[in-house]
Amino acid sequence: MVSGWRPLGVAIIRGADRSARLTDKPATADSDAPSKRALAAVRLLLSGDIADGIAHYQASMQASKRRLPIGVHIAMLEAAGHGSAAQALRALGLRTGEDVSAAAYQAQSPDQLCSEYEALFARGAINSRMIAGYAASLIELGRTEEMARIFDSARLFRTVKLGDPSEELAEAVAAEMAMRAAASARPTTNGPALEMLRIGKLAQDPGPAIARLIDAIEAEARRYLASWAGSDHPFAQHVSDQHIIHAWGLISQGPGRLDRHSHKRGWVTCVYYPVGVPEGEAGGELVVGPPEDGAPLPGWPHARVRPQAGLLVLMPSYYTHWTTPYDAPGLRVSIAVDFELSRGAEDAS
């Protein structure tokens, strides 16, 4: 337990170092600036100025290329007796998909990390990034059965062919995406999507076909969420029917691909294919697996999905996934839809 200013100062330094390792980005003067701004925001919170402190902290998060040790900063506030400020900062972290545990940013044992995650989850402080971190810690402890229950791929990984008229809808969506692609900028060269056109904010500004598609995906997702909430899954009690929908499209360009990643802010991630990959063409598959390449991990989900017109994939947002490179420009089109938990009780945790 963090108990005073001197240990907290050490914790912040160790947390920042670990954060740099987690993102594989070397620390530079420029990259340290957001960390300094975050500490200035913490000082505002300690002074009792919660509104400005949270605003400044959020700005430092948006400016940082590295994960800030937000869990350590929350622990600092709690140790100093600023419970309301700690609660506000925790709510910000949960809302933006950050890991709000302190142990995640320090050189703590997997057992200590698991214990903190379990205490936070019991309070309703949970998100996709934290579930993935918890699962990784369970692996280190050899608790593979518990990890397998969290992933529960037999129940939580689903593929659905959207109902009639699925072919007509798929064609209309593909045509609408093609029109948007023609007006889009250059392919992405950073982040998980490489050499792909990204067409964002589809839920906020959909055309007629995409609006119909999002309605259909939302109906499937609500059935999925209801089934999950009524199950014996370890996190079933945290599943809500109150969500914010984010949607975007990706179109391959040359050897376009998605690197390994998960969706830190979502609760359920859906991927829809308005067009399929033609038979005989290599690549373009959606792959679900562990966060790092290597031997399969017991209990970790493994799946490969070849895109088909009208196919919808549903999975928890903490599933790591990627795609295999595809060398046929313009033919691999996907639409991703995240159902992000609309924070209620969690903000009061």
Question: Could you tell me how many residues make up the chain?
Answer: 349
Strand partners, 161: 311
Strand 303-305 to 193-199 pairing: unpaired
Work out the pLDDT band at 188, boundaries 50, 70, 90.
Answer: low
What pLDDT, in 10s, does the model give residues 299-348? 888 999 999 999 999 999 999 999 988 776 656 889 999 999 876 544 44
Residues 318 and 243 in one domain: yes
Residues 95 and 171 in one domain: no
Cα angle, residue 244 at apex, residues 242 and 247 outer, rounded to 5° = 140
What is the DSSP annotation of 10-49? HHHHHHHHHHHHHHT----HHHHHHHHHHHHHHHHHHTT-
Tokens of residue 116, six digits? 């903190």
Domain boundary residue, one of 72, 91, 108: 108
Domain span including residue 233: 153-348
What pLDDT, in 10s, does the model give residues 224-266? 999 999 999 999 999 988 899 999 998 876 677 888 999 998 9
Residues 51 and 199 in one domain: no
Residues 173 and 65 in one domain: no
| Domain contains 67 | yes
Instruction: Give Dmax over CA atoms of the chain in angstroms.
Output: 65
| Domain contains 124 | no
| Domain contains 141 | no
Model pTM greater than 0.75? yes
Q: Which residues of 129-141 are buried (b: 16+ CB within 10 A; e: fewer)?
A: bbbbbbbbbbbee
- pLDDT of 163 reads 67
Lowest mean pLDDT among 155-159, 213-217, 255-259: 255-259
Work out the pLDDT band at 88, boundaries 50, 70, 90.
Answer: very high
Residues 193 and 335 in one domain: yes
CA–CA distances in Å: residue 319 to residues 58, 129, 244, 263, 280 = 26, 10, 19, 8, 28
Tokens of residue 191, six digits? 């982040």
